[in-house]
Amino acid sequence: MSAPDGDLTSEIAPVEALVDDSRSGWRRLSVRCVLDPGDLERLAAGECVWVSFYGGMPPFSVDVNP
């Protein structure tokens, strides 16, 4: 999935995404998040993960999967 302007070289980096139908019947958009170097150590030290919504967003879930 590219930035809103469709430019893959934009300062907004493209992300890997998957669209499917969940078991509940809702259409689902899943976006892959990858830790940056040092993130695991920061999480282990007690720092938090923040999820921010700009302009509203439907319900979400956070899962750890391969």
Domain boundaries, the chain: 1-56
DSSP-based helix, strand, coil % in the chain, nearest 5: 10, 15, 75
Which residue, among 9, 7, 29, has the nearest Cα to 20 in the 3D structure?
Answer: 29
What residues in the chain have per-residue pLDDT under 50? Answer: none
Question: Residues near 19 by Cβ (< 8 Å), separated by ≥ 6?
Answer: 27, 28, 29, 30
Instruction: Note the pLDDT of residue 23.
Output: 86
The HSE-up count of residue 48 (CA atoms within 13 Å, CB side) is 3
> Which pTM does this prediction carry?
0.56
Distance, first Cα to last Cα, the chain: 20
The predicted pLDDT at position 16 comes to 85
Provide the pLDDT for residue 58.
65
What is residue 22's predicted lDDT score, i.e. its pLDDT? Answer: 84
